[in-house]
């Protein structure tokens, strides 16, 4: 099953890794791992659905103290310093450094990402929230993403890169604005590879956008896809998303591979839906995203990614604190310890 934008999709018909299928017919759920593994699932029954899990599932998440990180504080801050050395050497302007948090599930056989999605919708609403549950194909993802990767309406395509995070707008620094502008230039270049000449514009630059527990700087980049291009060409030109890689993208990816110790999986990839019949689709950047890894040993685990964009102006401890800020509320929700204002711990 899949759930996005108030729609519930069931009756699985096809699963493919070929992005060209998204130009065919039907309604598709899409997950593209950061490492490039694409899963497209076509469903036969897509209908409006009330909030809450599709069945009677109840989420029981990991214990709050059981989360471990692929990079601890010392390793992460050392990574920030190393990226600043790359910047000083002129090899990169910005790179996104991420870590993956993992915790064992107390009842893995009963774990249902749709039930987790219902909790996230209640306690951390997000514009691109949803889930895809395809356990036979190794996909069990719940996202509360605030970031638009690609929205397509006919030949028009739009991206909404986020760069710059703080608890309030007063926390945002000149460094955050500079970082956002750098990534907007990268996204403009990526879309320019697949859009008609002169059609790529920036309708909004560095808008302050509030989300539960924090604020982001968000920009909008828009263009018109060339008549000869489709979803396959869009992915080829823009993936992985620029906001979670860096600039220049290829140099940033080399640095990421050298410093990060765990694959990102659906975190920082693309997650969403495509309606091939209507020529529309919406994919989020897979941030604020949980996924179940049933291949982990000795038992299945729940994973969650968090990271920060590193520039020459980055302070290692501040960047570590940003990754903690991005993760804290979501981990508390998944572990059942989030305390809403005026409420009790649940």
Point out the catalytic residue in the list 91, 110, 140, 147.
Answer: 147
Q: Where are the alpha helices (DSSP H) in 225-315?
A: 231-238, 249-259
**Two tokens, residue 16:** 């493919």
Which string of b and e fits 292-313 if b means at least 16 CB within 10 Å?
A: bbeeeeeebbbbbbbbbbbbee
- Which are the contacts of 325, defined by CB distance < 8 A and separation ≥ 6? 165, 167, 213, 214
**Burial of residue 264, with CB atoms counted within 10 A of its CB: 0-12 exposed, 13-18 middle, 19 or more buried:** buried
- Which are the contacts of 250, defined by CB distance < 8 A and separation ≥ 6? none
Say whether 110 is catalytic.
no
Closest by CA position to 99, among listed 262, 230, 215, 217: 262
Closest by CA position to 93, among listed 15, 172, 27, 186: 186
Say whether 233 is catalytic.
no
CA gap 132, 128 in Å, rounded: 13
Point out the catalytic residue in the list 140, 163, 179, 249.
Answer: 163
Q: Omega into 80 within 30° of 0, i.e. cis?
A: no
Q: What angle do CA 298, 303, 308 make, to 5 degrees?
A: 140
Helices (H) and strands (E) in the chain, counts: 6, 18
**Two tokens, residue 262:** 């765990």
CA gap 222, 225 in Å, rounded: 10
**Two tokens, residue 333:** 């929700």
**Two tokens, residue 126:** 């997000």
Positions marked catalytic: 147, 163
């Amino acid at each position: 099953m899949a759930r996005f934008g108030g729609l519930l999709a069931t009756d699985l018909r096809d699963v493919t890794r070929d992005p060209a299928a998204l130009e065919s017919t039907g309604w598709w759920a899409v997950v593209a791992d950061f490492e490039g593994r694409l899963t497209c699932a076509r469903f036969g029954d897509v209908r409006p659905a009330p909030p809450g899990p599709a069945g009677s599932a109840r989420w029981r998440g990991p214990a709050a103290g059981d989360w471990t990180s692929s990079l601890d504080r010392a390793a992460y801050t050392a990574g920030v310093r190393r990226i600043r050395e790359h910047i000083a050497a002129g090899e990169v302007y910005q790179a996104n450094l991420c870590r993956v948090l993992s915790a064992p599930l107390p009842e893995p056989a009963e774990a249902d990402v749709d039930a987790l999605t219902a909790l996230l919708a209640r306690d951390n609403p997000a514009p691109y929230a949803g889930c895809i549950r395809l356990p036979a194909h190794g996909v069990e993802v719940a996202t509360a993403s605030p970031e638009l990767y690609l929205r397509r309406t006919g030949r028009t395509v739009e991206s909404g890169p986020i760069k710059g995070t703080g608890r309030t707008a007063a926390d945002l620094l000149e460094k955050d604005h500079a970082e956002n502008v750098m990534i907007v230039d990268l996204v403009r270049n990526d879309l320019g590879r697949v859009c008609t000449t002169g059609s790529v514009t920036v309708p909004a630059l560095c808008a302050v956008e509030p989300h539960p527990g924090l604020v982001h700087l968000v920009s909008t980049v828009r263009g018109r896809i060339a008549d000869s291009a489709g979803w396959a060409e869009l992915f080829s030109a823009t993936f992985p998303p620029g906001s979670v890689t860096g600039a220049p993208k290829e140099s940033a990816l080399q640095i990421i591979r050298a410093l990060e110790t765990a694959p990102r999986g659906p975190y920082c990839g693309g997650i969403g839906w495509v309606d091939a019949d209507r020529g529309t689709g919406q994919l989020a950047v897979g941030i604020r995203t949980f996924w179940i890894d049933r291949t982990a040993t000795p038992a299945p685990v729940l994973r969650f990614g968090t990271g920060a964009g590193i520039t020459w102006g980055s302070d290692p401890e501040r960047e570590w604190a940003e990754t903690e800020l991005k993760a804290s509320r979501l981990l508390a929700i998944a572990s059942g310890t989030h305390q809403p204002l005026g409420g009790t711990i649940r």
